[in-house]
Structure 1
Amino acid sequence: MISKLDLYRIFVKVAQSESFSDAAKQLFMTQPAVSQSIMQLERELDTRLFYRSPKGATLTSEGRLLFEYIQSAMSLIHTGEQKILEFKNLTIGELKIGVGDTISRYYLLRYLEKFHINYPNIKFKIMNATTMELCSALKSGSLDIAFCNLPLEDAALEQLPCYAIEDIFVVGQQYRYLLEQSQTMDMIIQLPLIFLESKSNSRKYVEEYMASCGVSLAPAFELGSHDLLLEFAKINLGVASVIKQFSLDYLDKQLVFEVPLVKPIPSRNIGICYLRNVPLSIAATRFVEMINGDNSSSHLS
């Protein structure tokens, strides 16, 4: 059975061509089928839409009124279909990403650059916030995906590990004596400790590990950024808890030094998070696929 939308498509073609036979050719239909469709539409509307004559078909007053609206509607439908194709081909669109300062600088930037080169018309909307704030934004629909320090205790979120990281302690020149032997957590807490603020997921992870070793945390300094942790350690203000993979420049230049531990802190992951059971946008799907593909290549090489 022909749908109402199809009837209107046929109606527009007949009105534009002023001929049932010409409309049939354009629609790849038979002329009787076109005639039957127009008659069906007229029955449903209880209105005559065309004057028929051997020379063709012309709109009635009611037909002209309907044509103005239907032609506009068909144009909008066509535009909508084109926009969907553009979204599918990623020639337009927006990708909303949540991320913290440190992960953005040391991990995400290269992927943003790569994605922009491949899909230059996709706009980025970046939300910089804490892990807790990013999780709330995901649940509210304000973000497509977020990059967080895992693990997260949140059953509503899908968590896709994508980059392994290690938590270490670093010191400046005046504390280099700590490098002479591996240190226990009991020894570490005797020193001025430099940590991120308590709301940080990285801080919580290390704090929970230290608690499992039977020691409690009482930092001398609580800072808002990873870079400040490194700077405070560099000028010998204490022992800083940092992520090794994001501190390589300081370590390679011997601006700070890694303190060996008797029991190293177990590694963890940075991960992509998104709402469970909610389909990702096409742009977000491509972005996640790009990162997964890069990780697969890294494992193979």
Structure 2
Amino acid sequence: MNIKLEQYKIFNEAASTLSFSLAARNLFISQSAVSQAIRLLEKELHTQLFIRQSKGVILTKEGQILHQKISEALSLITSAENQIAHFHELNQGELLIGAGDTLSENYIMPYLVLFHQHYPHVKIKMVNRTSLEIIDLLKTGDIDLGFINMPLYDEAITIRECLQIHDIFVSSHQDSHSYTMEELVNEPLIMLEKNSNSRQFVDDYFAMQGFLLNPSIELGSHNLLLEAAKNHLGKACVIKEFSQHELDSHQIYEVNLTHALPKRSIGYAYLSRKTLTPATAKFIELLPVFQNE
């Protein structure tokens, strides 16, 4: 069959009004165009849909069946079109984000607040996972946008750098001594658990210099690291950019190192072959443009 959607729309209008002339007026086309569309439809379906009378038309049994189904189908199409329009206007929809706990609390949350202020009807869902788990969630479609530790390469994923951070060690008291890596590894250290990307980065850097880190305390969140350092439990490895308030208020002090840890980057990631949802695109627009210095 070679039936076009417009033919069904014309049929539906004619069936609803039981008048070719009213259908033509409502659709802003000629009555002859309505008659021709109906004839073509009847030809394609090999059945008569209308009984022509002097004062209009009535539906055949086949026409009644088709009218019921076409009316339902067109209603679904209209509903879908309206829903898509609402998505693009962000009167509804969903923002699905994946990120680690530290990034969620210290970097992403202000932008979520701003997004919600602009688009209060969009549902926000955030899951907290490691970078590798976030990549898997992107591929399965469980999230639309992920924030990951770089570098990370995957042909199916597009990654854009959005933030640079610095890992530092802090303690509860000011110390003018500059610690070598050998001295530091023998101090009571407080670090994140081994399954975190931040911990892996620091472990790998020290290992490359020939030192193995053996912290006396391992914790599950960045905030707990700060609290442990403030309570004199040892020297904690934290992210400087997310500890600025505590540093500025002298609750903690940065430990001087003879060899500072290299900076690292955070990026946002999305599936390359998938078009960004309107909500995801708008959220990305809220992120500051990153300038690589």
Quote the Cα distance in structure 2 between the aligned partners of 1:185 and 1:102. 25
CA drift at 1:74? 1.1
Q: Which residue of 2 aligns with 1:96?
A: 96
Quote the Cα distance in structure 1 between the aligned partners of 2:211 and 2:129. 29
Quote the Cα distance in structure 1 between the aligned partners of 2:197 and 2:235. 19
Letter aligned with residue 198 of structure 1? K
Q: Which residue of 2 aligns with 1:120?
A: 120
After superposition, what is the alpha-carbon deviation per residue over 1:178-228, rounded to whole angstroms, capped at 9, x for unaligned? x32432212211211211111110111111111222222111111111111
Quote the Cα distance in structure 2 between the aligned partners of 1:15 and 1:275. 46
Partner SS, residue 284 of structure 2 = helix
CA drift at 1:108? 0.9
1:295 maps onto 2:289 in alignment: yes
Partner SS, residue 51 of structure 1 = strand
CA drift at 1:53? 2.5
2:199 corresponds to which of 191, 200, 203: 203
Q: Which residue of 1 aligns with 2:42?
A: 42
Q: Which residue of 2 aligns with 1:133?
A: 133
Is 2:157–2:272's contact at 8 Å kept on the other side of the alignment? yes
Quote the Cα distance in structure 2 between the aligned partners of 1:156 and 1:196. 30
Q: Which residue of 1 aligns with 2:55?
A: 55
CA drift at 1:287? 1.0
After superposition, what is the alpha-carbon deviation per residue over 1:116-154, rounded to whole angstroms, capped at 9, x for unaligned? 111111001111223333222222211111122222244
Quote the Cα distance in structure 1 between the aligned partners of 2:25 and 2:220. 70
After superposition, what is the alpha-carbon deviation per residue over 1:46-90, rounded to whole angstroms, capped at 9, x for unaligned? 111111123222212221222111111111111111111111111
Partner SS, residue 295 of structure 1 = coil
Q: Which residue of 2 aligns with 1:252?
A: 248
Partner SS, residue 180 of structure 1 = coil
Quote the Cα distance in structure 2 between the aligned partners of 1:208 and 1:8. 65
CA drift at 1:164? 1.5
Letter aligned with residue 257 of structure 2? L
Identify unmatched segments of 5+ residues in structure 1.
none
Q: Which range is displaced more, 19-28 or 79-88?
A: 19-28
Q: Which residue of 2 aligns with 1:264?
A: 260
Identify unmatched segments of 5+ residues in structure 2.
none
Q: Could you say if the C-alpha distance between residues 266 and 152 of structure 1 is closer, same or farther in structure 2, counting changes exceeding 3 Å? A: same
Q: Which residue of 2 aligns with 1:27?
A: 27
Q: How many residues are aligned here?
A: 290
Q: Which residue of 2 aligns with 1:71?
A: 71
**What's the % identity of the aligned pairs?**
46
Partner SS, residue 41 of structure 1 = helix
Partner SS, residue 257 of structure 2 = coil
Partner SS, residue 207 of structure 2 = helix
1:231 corresponds to which of 227, 230, 243: 227
Q: Which range is displaced more, 113-122 or 187-196?
A: 187-196
What TM-score do the two structures reach when normalised by structure 2?
A: 0.93
Quote the Cα distance in structure 2 between the aligned partners of 1:19 and 1:166. 74
Pick the structure with more helix per residue. 1
1:277 corresponds to which of 273, 277, 285: 273
1:111 maps onto 2:111 in alignment: yes
Is 2:3–2:41's contact at 8 Å kept on the other side of the alignment? no
Quote the Cα distance in structure 1 between the aligned partners of 2:148 and 2:255. 26
Quote the Cα distance in structure 2 between the aligned partners of 1:3 and 1:260. 76
Is 2:162–2:266's contact at 8 Å kept on the other side of the alignment? yes
Cα-Cα RMSD: 1.7
Is 2:95–2:125's contact at 8 Å kept on the other side of the alignment? yes
CA drift at 1:37? 0.8
After TM superposition, the runs of 4+ consecutive aligned structure 1 residues lying more than 3 A away are: 153-156
What TM-score do the two structures reach when normalised by structure 1?
A: 0.90
CA drift at 1:44? 1.3
